[in-house]
Amino acid sequence: MDLTLKVWRQKNAKTKGRFETYKVKNISPDSSFLEMLDILNEQLIHEGMDPVAVEKGCQSRGPVSFDHDCREGICGACSLYINGRAHGPDDEVTTCQLHMRKFKDGDTITIEPWRSNVFPVIKDLVVDRKAFDKIMQAGGYVSVNVGGVPDGNVIPISHETAEESMDAAACIGCGACVATCKNGSAMLFVAARVSSLALLPQGRVEAAKRAKAMVAKMDELGFGSCTNTRACEMECPKHVTISHIARLNREFISAKFKE
């Protein structure tokens, strides 16, 4: 496959960025999207050392910076906006799980970082998602002593409830929900964290405190409000549903009444 790539290049959050166009050739349809970017970077490194390319005024500006870690759809670090969609033109996958067979020979692919004020660009396609860490620090944990680990068969939790909690806990914090939402809302992320604990006995002890603290921190950091367009749910690589947002709202309102 021969492809044209329009890649966002930006030195840091304070400098103005722009799209730069690159050509890549002989890309295997079985390659992952990140492997294709690896090939592009090898090409850019070679051009940077090639006297002929330098003489022709090659504007490669060095390899493209992009974030990644596990490359197994677990960590959520590989967060890219590809042709107008978070994680690209496939459903329920992260960018590292996206394969080039989803594109056609001769395609032009536009690659951007997450577009959100709360996720400032560090360099090129890498953004700072520290805001999510701050929300978690505000209350996304259990701090009370809940005793030792009991036998799984004696925990008074129904199978359905346990499964629902695990579905919420599947959120990998990639930020696709924020990048996709027209308001830049983090409600799906916060709801997943609150819901996964609110459904369990261990998490009920601090449920009210958790809901208030995490919502307050989300607002403080400048995330937008939720208007239930469900775009976040559609683009979530782990298909976390907005039913968890409904639970977050109930938890928050209940906490306010108790207060």
pLDDT (tens digit, 9 = 90+) per residue, 36-68?
A: 999 999 999 988 755 555 455 555 568 999 999
How far apart CA 215 and CA 194 sit, in angstroms, is 10
Q: Give the pLDDT band of residue 174 (cuts 50, 70, 90).
A: very high
Whole-model pTM: value is 0.89
- The string of pLDDT tens digits covering residues 68-119 is 999 999 999 999 999 999 999 999 999 999 999 999 999 999 999 999 999 9
Q: What is the pLDDT, as a whole number, of residue 79?
A: 93
Q: Please give the backbone phi and psi of residue 121, each rounded to the nearest 5 degrees, phi first.
A: -70, 130
- The string of pLDDT tens digits covering residues 153-167 is 777 788 899 999 999
CB burial of residue 119 (10 Å; 0-12, 13-18, 19+): buried
Q: Which two tokens stand for residue 164?
A: 């629902």
